[in-house]
């Protein structure tokens, strides 16, 4: 079947949505991005439309003609209980109405504390945090829609993001700009524990592949990650690329982050239950998707070099 020029609709123009749009365009797809305002910088060749995914009629209208719908929406933590179930329902109903596949980007929160055990697709969802339990309920609901034949659904799950466009991340705006300017980089928790990170272009390739492959449907997949190393080792690679190992300002607990004013009070309150991610090993085992579809994570050195280059480009004065 010729899938060239088919329409792929992405709800959300954060780092995932924009990176995914770029990947889909390289695969010859027509790409429609959707956000509330209809404004924002998007990859050349994509279209951007205004729409509110929390309104079912709006979501269905914008999904008309789509071969694949991607839920790359985001909401502040404090809004999750109200917003995420509604978005889930509207994404499922839109996929059901149009016959499109539905690909959902998800987090690791539903696994909860793993005590150093590698995360796999077979691992039980045993989160005790409110957000982890909510993610588990949402994942069940998405896959249940597939099981009962309402919509064709698959889930791609990523570790902490890093890479081009990724700012709001523990390996984002607190690390690369500081390292480039010779300032101490901010790190969280125990940086000598193994910690998996997901490179944004690998996330987008994984999601695009899930949208192409019928064999991916009805399952959740851990997206490709490079071999897990410690955060300190990541910083050492960054230092090797820059010719200077970054100084480190480490914040070992959420209470110290709060006291230092690193997080605002609302975020700190919401994030407290998730800070365990930085005080125990976080190891993702992504061999299932690699073996099923021939995907491979970008090597650390190559990915960090590209990320550094992106941050350097952002810091250059505009010619306009």
Residue 316 lies in a domain: no
Contact 165, 228 (CB under 8 A): no
Residue 141 lies in a domain: yes
Question: How far is it, in rounded angstroms, from Cα 318 to Cα 303?
Answer: 25
pLDDT in tens, 196-255: 999 999 999 999 999 999 999 999 999 999 999 999 999 999 999 999 999 999 999 989
Element (H, E) at 240: helix 231-242
Residue 71 lies in a domain: yes
- Going by pLDDT thresholds of 50, 70 and 90, the confidence category of residue 4 is low
Residue 275 lies in a domain: no
pLDDT at position 72 is 98
- Average pLDDT estimate for 140-152: 98
Residue 26 lies in a domain: yes
Taken in order 45, 69, 17, 196, the sign of the CA dihedral is negative
Contact 274, 131 (CB under 8 A): yes
Residue 248 lies in a domain: no
pLDDT at position 3 is 66
Question: How far is it, in rounded angstroms, from Cα 294 to Cα 296?
Answer: 7
Residue 182 lies in a domain: no
For residue 184, pLDDT beyond 60? yes
Share of the chain above pLDDT 90, in %: 91
Domain carrying residue 157: 7-161+198-225+283-297
Inter-helix orientation angle 300-315/200-212, to 10°: 110
Share of the chain above pLDDT 70, in %: 98
pLDDT in tens, 247-279: 999 999 989 888 888 888 898 899 999 999 999
Phi and psi at residue 202, in whole multiples of 5°? -70, -35
Q: What stretches of the chain adopt beta strand conformation (E)?
A: 7-11, 30-35, 47-50, 66-71, 101-106, 152-157, 160-162, 185-188, 194-195, 197-199, 220-222, 229-230, 248-251
CATH number of the domain within which 60 lies: 3.40.50.720
CA dihedral 289, 208, 124, 160 (to 10 degrees): 100
Q: Which two tokens stand for residue 216?
A: 């991916």
Residue 192 lies in a domain: no
Phi and psi at residue 11, in whole multiples of 5°? -90, 115
Taken in order 208, 211, 216, 218, the sign of the CA dihedral is positive
Q: How many independent structural domains does the chain possess?
A: 1
Phi and psi at residue 191, in whole multiples of 5°? -85, 5
User: What is the value of pTM for the model shown?
Assistant: 0.95
- Going by pLDDT thresholds of 50, 70 and 90, the confidence category of residue 320 is very low
Mean pLDDT for the chain?
95
- Going by pLDDT thresholds of 50, 70 and 90, the confidence category of residue 2 is low
pLDDT in tens, 43-76: 999 999 999 999 999 999 999 999 999 999 999 9
Burial of 179 by CB count in 10 Å (0-12 exposed, 13-18 middle, 19+ buried)? Answer: buried
For residue 1, pLDDT beyond 70? no
């Amino acid at each position: 079947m010729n899938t060239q020029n088919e329409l792929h609709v992405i709800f959300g123009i954060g780092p995932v949505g924009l990176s995914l749009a770029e990947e889909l365009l390289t695969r010859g797809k027509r790409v429609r991005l959707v956000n509330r305002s209809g404004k924002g910088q998007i990859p050349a060749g994509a279209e951007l439309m205004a729409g509110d995914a929390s309104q079912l009629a709006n979501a269905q209208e914008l999904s008309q003609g789509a071969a694949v719908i991607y839920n790359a929406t985001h909401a502040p933590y404090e809004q999750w209980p109200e917003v995420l179930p509604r978005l889930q329902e509207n994404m499922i109903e839109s996929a059901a109405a149009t016959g499109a596949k539905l690909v959902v980007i998800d987090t690791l929160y539903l696994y909860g504390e793993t005590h150093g055990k590698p995360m796999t697709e077979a691992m039980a969802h045993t989160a005790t945090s409110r957000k982890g339990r909510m993610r588990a309920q949402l994942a069940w609901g998405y896959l249940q829609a597939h099981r009962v034949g309402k919509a064709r659904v698959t889930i791609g799950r990523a570790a902490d993001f890093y890479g081009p466009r990724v700012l709001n991340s523990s390996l984002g705006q607190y690390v690369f700009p500081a390292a480039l300017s010779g300032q101490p980089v901010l790190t969280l928790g125990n940086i000598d524990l193994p910690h998996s990170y997901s490179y944004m272009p690998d996330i987008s390739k994984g999601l695009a592949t899930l949208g192409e492959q019928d064999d991916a449907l009805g399952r959740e997949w851990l997206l490709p990650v490079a071999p897990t190393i410690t955060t300190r080792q990541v910083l050492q690679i960054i230092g090797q690329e820059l010719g200077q190992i970054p100084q480190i300002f480490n914040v070992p607990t959420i209470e110290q982050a709060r006291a230092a004013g690193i997080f605002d009070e609302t975020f700190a309150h919401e994030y407290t239950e998730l800070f365990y991610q930085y005080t125990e090993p976080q190891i993702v085992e992504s061999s299932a998707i690699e073996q099923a579809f021939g995907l491979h994570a970008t090597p650390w050195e190559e990915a960090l070099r590209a990320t550094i280059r992106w941050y350097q480009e952002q810091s250059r004065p505009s010619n306009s």
